[in-house]
Structure 1
Amino acid sequence: LAVYIEGVRLLEGSGVDQWQPDAIVETRLTLGKSYPAGTELYAVQNEPSGSAPAPLERSKNLADLQDVPTARANLGVYSKAEADQKAPAGMVAHFARQTAPSGWLKANGAAVSRAAYATLFSAIGTTFGNGDGFNTFNLPDLRGEFLRGWDDGRGVDGGRGFGSWQADELRSHNHSLYGNDRGTNSGQKLAPGLYRDDAEDYVGAADERTIRHTGGNETRPRNRALLACIKY
């Protein structure tokens, strides 16, 4: 049954703007409030089962669904909360494109609004920069950088603060040079340093020579450049 007052449909229920069927007389109903004399009421019935389902109101934009989770499941779509769990604010990812996708920002160290990106600000705070100290905060700057897992107490990369930047470095090491002489060898020594001869270490004298250098201005593995972004 569909009940209309002055062209506006009333839903079945106990509310003021609703109606209820009579418990004894099937052809009788009770309105939630009184209406002025002359008010037009229409009771329309066209369902063989005797109960017409209430339609969705366009103005409510699906807010009047009876069971929202079931409706989403039937459509095969995620809720906003479920989508946020799969890609939470603060998540970093690399993309094979030159622009940030929807919902992401370039991880380029930019200062962005704390209000406009409140969820991201709640997630990372001022870890990567305080912005102007009031209205903005900084994104991590991952341009041209490799990422490394935070040590978090393990002791492999101790002393590092979370989110801190680290300059490139070559691990401390030495090279063994083999020769026939442990003394001053002006034809072989390159500089004062530690050399090896017959499995014994010794310190040689200087000879104003240097090892020819090779390589570039950093130590790096093979790599490919992609765009680093952060979810907001």
Structure 2
Amino acid sequence: MLYVAFSGLAASGCLTQKQVDAQIDAKLRQQQAAMDARVRAQIADALYSYPQRQRPAPDPGSATEVPLGTVIAFAGPIEDGIPEGYLPCDGRRLKITDYRALFDAIGWTYGYGGGAPNRDYFSLPDYRGRFVRGVDGASGNDPDVAGRVDRDGAPVGDRVGSLQGDEVRSHKHPIMDPGHLHRFVEQAQGGPNTYDSGDERGVHGMPQRETTQSVTGIQIDGYGGNETRPKNVAAYFLIRAE
């Protein structure tokens, strides 16, 4: 129909046959380009959406693709159960033969599972009531890294699983003195006379001076609670165990 329409224009003398052929060719190329663009868009859409349609909906409680030994913060209660494949980071001891893969991941980093070394057990980290800090790794961000210890109090330095006690950074408290006087008693021949420091009155006889106690009004009050801490919110730390 496109060729017939343009041919009619040529037959009426409006266009030459060569002009008709050129316009038909241009129109066909335009239509082909539009069709190619639609086809490419349809193919791209099909390629993108196909895996999405085939992939099952993720299970929020699944431990799939999370490395063993990974610790996560869980925002829900655990009294009625925790996500499958996880255990709470409460320092419990586990039998190596029951959790061989987890032991291969963390080893005895957090203890042998008791007071004395026991090669049949290992311990989970105990993060209850604690903040987690990244290993310094020679960055200099932990200025007291040399004083870090293991769970038994032995120095271990910059090592994963090491502990560090709470501390307040060294600082100063300025004191503003509003001014005060020291009184002294002069024992002279005429009897005792009391003067304030800075008094320019003369002294008669053979004085013996003693300063008396004076309250300055300066004091530093204690302030604070049971620990030094930032603002925080509580969550359960869980470790991928199997």
Question: Structure 2-normalised TM-score?
Answer: 0.50
Pairing 1:187–2:216 present: yes
Deviation at 1:156, TM superposition (A): 1.8
Matching residue of 1:196: none
Q: CA deviation at 1:127?
A: 0.5
CA deviation string 1:147-171 (max 9, x = no partner): 1111011122132332111111110
Offset at residue 85 of structure 1 (A): 7.8
Q: Which residue in the other structure is 1:98 paired with?
A: 77
Query: Greater CA radius of gyration, 1 or 2?
Result: 2
| CA–CA separation in structure 1 for the residues paired with 2:178 and 2:223 | 27
Q: Does 1:140 align with 2:122?
A: no
Distance 1:189 1:130 in 2: 54
Aligned CA RMSD, in angstroms, stands at 3.0
Q: CA deviation at 1:215?
A: 2.2
Q: CA-to-partner distance for each residue in 1:75-116, whole Å, 9 max, x for gaps?
A: 4269xxxx9783101111111222221110000000012111
2:225 aligned residue (187, 199, 216):
216
Distance 1:171 1:89 in 2: 36
User: Partner of 2:108 in structure 1?
Assistant: 126
What is the Cα deviation at residue 73 of structure 1? 9.3
Equivalent position of 2:203 in the other structure: none
Who is 1:47 aligned against?
Answer: none
Write the distance in 1 (CA, Å) between the matches of 2:113 and 2:73: 24
Change (3 A) 1:126 1:183: farther
Question: How big is the shift at 1:221?
Answer: 1.7
Equivalent of residue 174 in structure 2, options 149, 173, 176: 176
**Number of the residue aligned with 2:238:** 229
Q: Which amino acid in 1 is paired with 2:216?
A: G
Quickly say closer, same or farther: Cα 1:182–1:147, change in 2 above 3 A: farther
- Match of residue 86 from structure 1: 65
Q: Distance in 2 between matches of 1:92 and 1:183?
A: 63
Residue 96 (structure 2) aligned to one of 114, 122, 127: 114
Higher-helix-fraction structure: 2
Alpha-carbon distance in 1 for matches of 2:224, 2:169: 16
> Cα distance 1:183–1:103, how it changes in 2: closer, same or farther (>3 A)?
farther
Give the partner amino acid of 2:166: D
> SS state of the match for residue 119, structure 2?
coil
Cα pair distance change 1:214/1:178, threshold 3 Å: closer
Output the CA distance in 2 between the equivalents of 1:123 and 1:84.
16
Q: Are residues 182 and 149 of structure 1, via their aligned partners in 2, closer, same or farther at CA, if it must alter by over 3 Å? A: farther
Task: In structure 2, list runs of 5 or more residues that go unmatched.
Answer: 1-50, 147-157, 183-213
Task: Give aligned-pair identity as a percent.
Answer: 36
Q: Which consecutive unaligned segments of at least 5 residues does structure 1 have?
A: 1-71, 191-210
SS of the residue 1:86 aligns to: coil
